[in-house]
Amino acid sequence: MYRIENLEYNKRVTVHAPGTVANLVCGFDILGLCLHEPHDVMHVTLLDEPKVVIESLDGYPLPADPQLNTAGAPLLEMIHEVDATVGFHVSIQKNIKPGSGVGSSAASAAGAVVAANHLLGNIFSPTDLVRFAMAGEKVASGVKHADNVAPCIIGGVTLIRSIFPLDIVSIPSPELFVTVVHPQIEIRTADARQILRKEVLLKDAIKQWGNIAGLVAGFMQNDLSLIGRSLEDVIIEPVRSILIPGFSDVKQQCKEAGALGGGISGSGPSIFMLSKDEPTATAVEQVMKDVYNKLGIPYHTYVTTINQQGVTKAS
């Protein structure tokens, strides 16, 4: 229990809660990186009653019961660990669409707990905040996973070595560009997890852990070719890519345009590609646009970089 004195009730903090790319192709549930764009804007106000009120600023229908809300559930967990009467009012401008694959639920959860922690005098550690935020992921997908909330809170590339107990490792990375295309179809993470096989072949596991180790080593050694070679997934992508129209064309043509590699962002439908410089990332964006224009599927694209800060306080 954390005891807090001199609370400033009615004080309001605004944060930017960025999107994230979970899995990084080969690292299902254990790797993720933080983006600069897109990001949600969240205003959180400290209340003198133990309750959580969630308000949508842009008409997204959000569950009124905070237990069922990705921002509300983490705040309720946080309130339980504070030895003072506190509550929070949260208003959210959701720029990251739910079901997009760029960490929409994680942004709500992470933004809420980082803002609330500011209002409480930053008593909780980043690991505590990730622990609270995972309650939001449980609401969204039925399972606690930290590969979106950890990079969203901590920034950069993160490895989640374990979630029980939480063991998060920040991985240094080169300044890469990230191109994301979000075809405007919705894939619920819970559904995208449901279709996965429960068992893997040893030969596939060997390939996969070779790639995970290669990707981490590539980031740490600034070895772009190793990063590219390691962005390969023999377990999850063959199953999930079926849900994403145009996936194999995007992947193949983006690599031909110079991308190091990439794949499904989180549980999809967004697809991300890493590039060494901005001109390549922009050429990759054009390839993505061409594929979805041809398919007649509306989309959004982002050309952005790895965000080393995570959730930031705007005011």
Q: How far apart are CA 263 and CA 232, in angstroms?
A: 8
Q: Considering the rule CB under 6 A, would residue 28 count as an interface residue with ligand HSE?
A: yes
Q: How far apart are CA 72 and CA 133, in angstroms?
A: 10
Which position among 137, 237, 280, 304 bears the catalytic label? 137
Question: Is 137 designated active site?
Answer: yes
Q: 20 and 158 in contact (C-beta within 8 Å)?
A: no
Q: Considering the rule CB under 6 A, would residue 241 count as an interface residue with ligand HSE?
A: no
Nearer to ligand HSE, 28 or 88 (CB): 28
Out of 189, 208, 270, 304, which residue is the one contacting ligand HSE (CB under 6 A)? 189
Long-range contacts of 277-282 (CB under 8 A, 24+ apart): 277/177, 278/177, 278/303, 280/177, 281/177, 281/178, 281/179, 282/179
Q: Considering the rule CB under 6 A, would residue 267 count as an interface residue with ligand HSE?
A: yes
Q: Considering the rule CB under 6 A, would residue 183 count as an interface residue with ligand HSE?
A: no
User: Which candidate, 284, 236, 223, 231, places its Cα nearest to that of 257?
Assistant: 284
What DSSP string describes 36-47?
EEEEEEEEEEEE
Q: Is the dihedral of CA 258, 259, 264, 268 positive or negative?
A: negative
Nearer to ligand HSE, 214 or 269 (CB): 269
Q: Considering the rule CB under 6 A, would residue 23 count as an interface residue with ligand HSE?
A: yes
Place of tokens 């499904």: 264
- What's 2's DSSP letter? B
Question: Shortest Cβ distance from residue 190 to ligand HSE (Å)?
Answer: 9
Nearer to ligand HSE, 145 or 251 (CB): 145
Interface with ligand HSE (CB under 6 A), residue total 12
Q: Considering the rule CB under 6 A, would residue 138 count as an interface residue with ligand HSE?
A: no
How deeply is 188 buried, as exposed, middle or buried, from its count of CB atoms within 10 A (0-12, 13-18, 19+)? middle
Nearer to ligand HSE, 91 or 267 (CB): 267
Question: Shortest Cβ distance from residue 32 to ligand HSE (Å)?
Answer: 8
User: Per residue in 173-184, is it b (16+ CB within 10 Å) or e — as a string?
Assistant: bbebbbbbbbbe
Nearer to ligand HSE, 189 or 307 (CB): 189
Nearer to ligand HSE, 99 or 218 (CB): 99
Out of 13, 15, 17, 22, which residue is the one contacting ligand HSE (CB under 6 A)? 22
Of 126-134, 188-196, 212-220, 307-315, the window that binds ligand HSE (rule: CB under 6 A) is 188-196
Out of 12, 14, 29, 300, which residue is the one contacting ligand HSE (CB under 6 A)? 29
Out of 12, 118, 188, 193, which residue is the one contacting ligand HSE (CB under 6 A)? 193
Question: Shortest Cβ distance from residue 55 to ligand HSE (Å)?
Answer: 25
Strand partners, 275: 177
Q: Considering the rule CB under 6 A, would residue 145 count as an interface residue with ligand HSE?
A: yes
Query: What's the chain's length in residues?
Result: 315
Residue nearest to ligand HSE (CB): 266
Angle, alpha carbons 164-166-171 (nearest 5°): 135
3-state SS assignment for residue 251: helix
Q: Considering the rule CB under 6 A, would residue 19 count as an interface residue with ligand HSE?
A: no
Please give the positions annotated as active site: 137, 189
User: What does the binding site for ligand HSE look like in residue numbers (CB under 6 A)?
Assistant: 22-23, 28-29, 145, 147-148, 189, 192-193, 266-267
